[in-house]
Amino acid sequence: MLSLIKLPRVFTINQVPKIFHEDSIISGYRHPRSSATDCILSLFQLTNETLNIWTHFLPTWYFLWKLVTVVLMQTAWQDSFTWPLVIFLLSCCIYPLASSCAHTFSTMSARARHICFFFDYGALSLYSLGSAMVYSAYVFPDKWVNGSFHQLYIPIAVVNTVICTFLACYSRFPECQSPKFSKVLRIVAFAYPYLFDHIPLFYRVFVCAGEGCTDNDTNILHYNHIALAFLTAFLFATHLPERLAPGSFDYIGHSHQLFHVCGILGTHFQMQAIEQDMVTRRPWLAENSIPITFSNSLGPALLCIVLNFAVIILYSLPLLCAPVCPDKKNDKAPVKTSAKHCHGCM
Residue 36 covered by a domain: no
**pLDDT given at position 179:** 87
Q: What is the mean pLDDT of each run of 10 residues along the chain (346 residues)?
A: 72 95 96 96 96 98 95 82 96 98 96 96 97 97 95 97 96 89 94 96 92 88 97 96 96 97 98 96 94 94 97 92 54 47 36
Within the chain, strands assigned E span: 11-12, 27-29
Cα–Cα distances (Å) from 27 to 20, 110, 251, 269, 284, in that order, read 12, 18, 8, 34, 56
Q: Which domain holds residue 222?
A: 49-96+110-321
**pLDDT given at position 333:** 58
* Total domain count, the chain: 1
β-partners of residue 12 are: 27
What is the spatial distance between Cα 315 and Cα 169, in angstroms, rounded to a whole number?
A: 7
What is the spatial distance between Cα 141 and Cα 206, in angstroms, rounded to a whole number?
A: 12
What is the spatial distance between Cα 256 and Cα 47, in angstroms, rounded to a whole number?
A: 13
261 closest CA partner among 286, 287, 235, 284 = 235
Could you tell me the pTM of the whole model?
0.91
* Residue 108, phi then psi, degrees to nearest 5: -75, -30
Element (H, E) at 312: helix 298-319
Q: What is the DSSP string of 142-169?
A: GGGTTSHHHHHHHHHHHHHHHHHHHHHH
**pLDDT given at position 175:** 86
Residue 337 covered by a domain: no
Residue 22 covered by a domain: no
163 closest CA partner among 139, 134, 197 = 197
